[in-house]
Amino acid sequence: MILPTTITAGDEHDRMRLDVFVSMRLAPEYSRSQVARMIKAGLVTVNGAVARASSGVRTGDRIDVAAAPAGARYDPSNYKEGDAPEISVLFADDEIIVVNKPAGMTVHPAPGHPAGTLVDALLARFPELAAMAEPDGVLRPGIVHRLDKDTSGVMVVARTPFSRTALSRQFKERIVRKIYLAIVKGKVARDRLTIERPVGRHPVERKRMSVRSHAPRDAVSHLTVIGRFDAVSPGEAGASLVRVKPDTGRMHQIRVHLASIGHPCLGDPLYGGKAGGSGFFRRQALHALALLIAHPRSGARLEFIAPLPIDFVEFLAQKSFAADARELRRWIELA
């Protein structure tokens, strides 16, 4: 449904919560959480008055849903040629865009990262995405999941409101299959390991996440060791190449889980401790290798693979460890 719009509550909607009623009428283009943000932003009125998400509607109520303010939307005239970074597009059709996000790129504008983001790159190449700005005016067009700034790899972006809702539901219901590669400090002893440790905000350091949070959420990561490497010099602990398949998608989940078992990602400045640095990695050695989703329209199962970034390639080459396309496929298909 195109905004702005007006809807009227019928007898069957009497005493229904406002957010439930509006999301039901705007589905599938807008989810209940998006509608809740619209209400909070004052974009939804009942009989001309701003209301709460929990307010009940009555038969005959007129509910007006406004579009986000024009000033919150992307204006192509604000861009000069070359301002937006380039992005590697792995796949695109009328519903989705799949990209290989490089390390060092923030997904969307935020304090401290106002430009040079994945959103900037996408809007420069697909300007019609501007219409996908969040209904409360936040410019995160089509973003349904994220990777940390210094994590590289595959991401899917919705190109239509319908796909945004469908993909968000897949992530929420854990239908999406995600495969990551990490190069970690030390030789992981067990070949396979499932880490089930709830993750939440660190009790003291607010920029960090922790398995010792006061308000954790369930988090599960399945780890498989692909290779173990000897130390280059005395006193070092060696390293391991691991595949990680997360069941959940908590902020920093894989990095926190790996650090919690004593094997942080090489180069991780936040969770790697004093040994976080690496000659090869000036960021956490974490790469989103593969993503398997159901196409939001057709339902067809789709798999997308992001080639290894150069720092992974150079590290594995130095170890004389094969990492060609056949090996990547084998790592993805590990049981």
Q: What is the pLDDT of residues 114-149, one digit of tens each?
A: 568 898 899 888 888 877 766 555 567 889 999 999
pLDDT of the residue at 108: 72
Cβ neighbors of 301 (< 8 A, separation 6 or more) are 292, 293, 294, 295
Over the stretch 87-123, which tens digit does the pLDDT of each residue have?
999 999 999 999 999 999 999 766 555 568 898 899 8
Residue range 176-197: mean pLDDT, rounded: 97
Nearest CA to 248 among 202, 296, 195, 295? 195
Q: Measure the CA–CA gap between 72 and 119, rounded to whole angstroms.
A: 14
Tokens of 108: 């969307």
- Is the pLDDT confidence value at 83 over 70? no
pLDDT of the residue at 38: 84
Secondary structure letter of residue 331 according to DSSP: H
Nearest CA to 244 among 173, 305, 184, 185? 184
pLDDT of the residue at 8: 95
Helices (H), the chain: 18-26, 32-40, 118-125, 161-172, 253-260, 310-318, 325-333
Secondary structure letter of residue 66 according to DSSP: P
Secondary structure letter of residue 116 according to DSSP: S
Choice among 148, 150, 268, 311 that is catalytic: 148
Q: Measure the CA–CA gap between 119 and 288, rounded to whole angstroms.
A: 18
Which of 3-17, 29-43, 66-80, 200-214 comes out lowest in average pLDDT?
A: 66-80
- Is the pLDDT confidence value at 12 over 50? yes
Stronger pLDDT, 67 or 49, i.e. the higher one: 49
Strands 152-158 and 286-294, by their bridges, are parallel
pLDDT of the residue at 81: 46
Q: Which residues pair with 265 in a beta bridge?
A: 184
- Own/partner contacts of 82-86, CB < 8 Å, gap of 24 or more, are 83/115, 83/120, 83/124, 84/116, 84/120, 84/121, 84/123, 84/124, 84/125, 85/116, 85/117, 85/120, 85/121, 86/121
Cβ neighbors of 324 (< 8 A, separation 6 or more) are none
In the chain, % of residues over pLDDT 70: 87
pLDDT of the residue at 111: 53
CA dist list (Å): 247 to 117, 122, 250: 27, 28, 10
pTM flag (> 0.75): yes
148 catalytic? Reply is yes
Using the structure block, give the residue that is written with the tokens 């602990």: 237
C-alpha dihedral (257, 258, 261, 265), degrees to nearest 10 = -150
pLDDT of the residue at 229: 96
| CB 162 within 8 Å of CB 28 | yes
